[in-house]
């Protein structure tokens, strides 16, 4: 197995060539203007996604609903945090529909959200309204949602499921041993697995998906164990990407994981039983190769 790059102070080391980010082209400015016009947020911007230029240049974006302030304080995430989130915009579902129409997106969309522990239903009903609005406007649209854990409350997860998204994703983020040092104290490995397990038990037709960041000090064996834990509860899609430190306020990178390691882990994951594994240094939860696979898979099995 190709070795990871380790240094005593990786924060001062130059990033390897495989982490080079492409400059924006094409429709980048058009997408940016549409998002601003409709007062929307994207995880692309808020989380400093390295693929933002590539995705926006091809006219796609992942919408982040329920404001731009998260009530969790995970130590890897650049999204702003606050005890109370931003006021919920009742026009957001319609604004997303209008933005999608203007961007010419009619086949596949990804919605995610900040955590809203400050709201009585943690924002689940608003999340459901956004899904329903998209489906009502474009019945053929496939909707993938990357959801919070809703503190494991099954009724709130049910609010999302009743809106009938096609894919429900929820991220483990890291291996079990590192959960306490990486994620907010209100999140944990068992709770995240329980969210995905509940979705699959309640409706086996919904595709489930999860993601892990690498480079935080995990071992290959721990990654494989996480794969097995996800497969045991029926998760079909996995994405693996390199953790990149947003700023010095966040956890340092422990390893730069080479592309060859990602290729090997993709092979292992698919051999173990995932229907699809997207793995690479710049792969993120909402990754276009994964979306293309899911679109083909759902259309073929419709």
What's the confidence (pLDDT) of residue 53?
Answer: 57
Query: Could you tell me which residues come within 8 angstroms of residue 188 by beta carbon, excluding any fewer than 6 positions away?
Result: 179, 180
**Contact assessment for residue 135 and residue 108, using Cβ atoms and an 8 Å cutoff:** no
- Structural domains present in the chain: 33-300 (3.20.20.70)
Q: What is the pLDDT of residue 5?
A: 39
Number of H helices, E strands in the chain: 11, 10
Helix, strand, coil % over all residues of the chain, rounded to 5: 40, 15, 45
Query: What is the mean pLDDT for each group of 10 consecutive residues in the chain (302 residues)?
Result: 43 75 68 86 64 56 91 93 95 96 89 97 98 96 95 98 96 98 97 98 96 97 98 96 92 95 98 95 75 73 67
pLDDT at 52: 60
Count of Cβ atoms closer than 10 Å to residue 153 Cβ: 15
How far apart (Å, rounded) are the C-alpha atoms in residues 7 and 274? 33
How much is the pLDDT for 8?
Answer: 39
Provide the pairing of β-strand 62-65 with 41-42.
antiparallel
């Amino acid at each position: 197995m190709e070795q990871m790059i380790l240094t005593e102070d990786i924060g001062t080391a130059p990033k390897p060539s495989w982490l080079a980010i492409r400059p924006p082209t094409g429709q980048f400015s058009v997408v940016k203007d549409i998002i601003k016009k409709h007062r929307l947020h994207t995880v692309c911007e808020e989380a400093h996604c390295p693929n933002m230029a590539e995705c926006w240049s091809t006219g796609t974006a992942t919408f982040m609903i329920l404001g731009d302030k998260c009530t969790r304080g995970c130590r890897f995430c650049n999204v702003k945090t606050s005890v109370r989130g931003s006021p919920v915009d009742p026009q957001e579902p319609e604004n997303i529909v209008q933005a999608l129409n203007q961007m010419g997106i009619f086949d596949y969309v990804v919605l995610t959200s900040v955590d809203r522990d400050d709201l009585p239903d943690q924002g689940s009903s608003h999340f459901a309204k956004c899904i329903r609005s998209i489906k009502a406007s474009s019945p053929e649209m496939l909707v993938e949602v990357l959801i919070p854990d809703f503190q494991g409350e099954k009724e709130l997860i049910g609010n999302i499921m009743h809106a009938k998204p096609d894919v429900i994703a929820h991220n483990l983020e890291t291996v079990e041993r590192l959960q306490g040092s990486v994620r907010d104290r209100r999140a944990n490995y068992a709770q995240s697995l329980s969210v995905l397990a509940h979705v699959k038990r309640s409706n086996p037709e919904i595709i489930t998906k999860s993601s892990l960041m690498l480079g935080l000090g995990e071992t290959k064996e721990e990654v494989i164990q996480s794969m097995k834990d996800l497969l045991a509860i029926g998760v079909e899609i996995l994405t693996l990407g390199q953790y990149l430190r947003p700023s010095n306020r966040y956890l340092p990178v422990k390893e730069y994981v080479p592309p060859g390691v990602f290729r090997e882990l993709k092979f292992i994951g698919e051999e173990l039983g995932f229907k699809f594994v997207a793995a690479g240094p710049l792969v993120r939860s909402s990754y276009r190769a994964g979306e293309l696979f899911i679109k083909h898979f759902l259309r073929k099995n419709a």
